[in-house]
Amino acid sequence: MNHSFTISRSANGFRARLLGVMALLFCLYMPLEAAAQAAPKIKMAYAKCAHCLSMSMVPGLAKGVDIEAINFTSGNDALTALVSKSVDIAQVTYLHFVTGLDKGMDLVAISGQVNGGSELVVAKDFPLAANDWVGLKKMIADYKAQGKPFRIAASRGNAQDLHMRGEFLKNGINPSRDVQFVNIPNPADHNAALQRGEIELIGTVEPFASQIRLGGVGKHFNFPYDQAAGKLTNLIVTRSDVIKEKPEAVKQTVAAIVSLVDQLNKDKQAWVDSIVKGTGLDRGIATEALQNAYPDYTMYRGATLAIADMMRDLKYISRDVNADIEKNMNYSFLTSITGKTPKDLGY
């Protein structure tokens, strides 16, 4: 009787130890399995402007990829982070893409995002009506006759700078000779510069254009879209090594951007929230800013070639980069996600 009890207790003890070992092995195995199944990671840079800040919503729309969205002051900073390999993907502009190719940078365009966002604003007390280019040229001539420079400003190297210069050239004003250019790198400083009287006209970006107008510091002069770049602004770019090493992660990031564009076209409330959070400006300014923004994931190849030609005329680039543009606009991710042909997507 006692012997039987001893055997039974020994068996129970063995069973308990076996279950304990199995539980330990299971606990050790689970983290390894989870790690094996973890989504690939992508670091994504974006700038601080009305149409750019919506990129903060991309991680929440991503499936099959873990996206870390990092906010930079400008597209120039986002581009620097990309080429230095601090990030994998960046929201920049068509201008950044073209200038980067001109400098031999490894850049591959993979999606559009949002266009528009540019506005020319003049000091509030200027006797100048909207789109009065004759009046503006007379004012510039009067300044020159008085020995005073007519000062125009923008953040050099961004899309608004290009839009402004192209519009000036089209209307008979040479931005290199007829006026004095002032570079204000951070668009958030545009309002204060105009308010202090340091400039006469500024080519700025939303939501700061709306801040200037609604705050009574300046008034609308022109939407500078009657030039080769039209309303084209944002472009999503990566590097060839990222495409090679993380093709599925890139594809899923583009899928999230396509979802973002679809969402922005349906409901702008979350977009307004992202602007308020990213800039600290009030909702009225953020809402006004979106009157001048156009969500669109299309990549416009023909217009990009025209932009490059205009940039050569403006001395922004030193060589013909048309072959580089043709080679480095990759439509495969957009076509895979949307089911559309490259021609449908702007090729």
Q: Are strands 118-123 and 201-205 parallel, antiparallel or unpaired?
A: antiparallel
CATH architecture of 41-116+234-338: 3-Layer(aba) Sandwich (3.40)
- Confidence (pLDDT) at 171: 95
CA distance 337 to 282: 35
More confident position, 194 or 2 = 194
How do residues 273-302 score in pLDDT, each as one tens digit? Answer: 999 999 999 999 999 999 999 999 999 999
How do residues 166-224 score in pLDDT, each as one tens digit? Answer: 999 999 999 889 999 999 998 899 999 999 999 999 999 999 999 999 999 999 999 99
Mean predicted lDDT score pLDDT of the chain: 90
DSSP 1: -
CA distance 265 to 133: 33
Domains of the chain by residue range: 1-36, 41-116+234-338, 118-222
Q: Under a CB-based contact definition with an 8 Å cutoff, are residues 71 and 275 in contact? A: no
| 118-222 fold | D-Maltodextrin-Binding Protein; domain 2 (3.40.190)
- Confidence (pLDDT) at 22: 53
Mean pLDDT of 330-343: 97
- Confidence (pLDDT) at 57: 94
Q: In sequence order, what are the residues at sequence separation of 6 or more whose Cβ sits closer than 8 angstroms to the Cβ of residue 30? A: none
CA distance 326 to 70: 29
Sign of CA dihedral 273, 159, 117, 259: negative
- Express as a percent the part of the chain with pLDDT over 90: 79
CA distance 71 to 341: 32
Write out the two tokens for 343.
């021609």
* Equal fold, 41-116+234-338 vs 118-222: yes
Strands (E), the chain: 41-46, 66-71, 89-93, 108-112, 114-116, 118-123, 151-154, 180-183, 201-205, 218-222, 234-238, 293-295
- Confidence (pLDDT) at 315: 86
Q: What are phi and psi of 51, to 5 degrees?
A: -80, -20
Per-residue pLDDT band at 305 (split at 50, 70, 90): very high
